[in-house]
Amino acid sequence: MSLITLIDGVLLLAMIGVSLYGVTALPPGARMPMHFGTGGYNRWVSRNVGLTMWPAGGVVIYVILIVTSRDHGTHSGSGPVVGLTVALGVILVTEIGAVAVALSRGRRG
């Protein structure tokens, strides 16, 4: 197992952990901000949909990384592998921000 694969696995587990935290911290009727396209959060979805979408996207990227890392041994360069690892990190940070926004929105009213 390469270091990149290990980092990707930790990022994916962190996404799942944030979602599990969100399930326990947010009330059932809570709405989650989602980012579709440019311009920041621009849609609100139910708590369960929001908390499922980030890890689901992370799993897709993780599978792509596993397939790419197998091919990486044959070809030189690490561009796509590192780029997708960065994407996992960005998704994790975005998920954390969305949970924080949903929590603060719930406290305001």
CA distances from 39 to 56, 70, 102 (A): 22, 35, 18
**pLDDT, position 49:** 93
Query: What pTM did the predictor assign?
Result: 0.82
- From CA 59, how far away is CA 6, in angstroms rounded? 14
Percent of the chain residues topping a pLDDT of 70:
79
Residue-wise pLDDT tens digits, 49-72: 999 998 999 999 888 888 877 665
When divided into structural domains, the chain yields a total of 1
Contact at 8 Å (CB) between 87 and 61?
yes
Domain that holds residue 28: 3-108
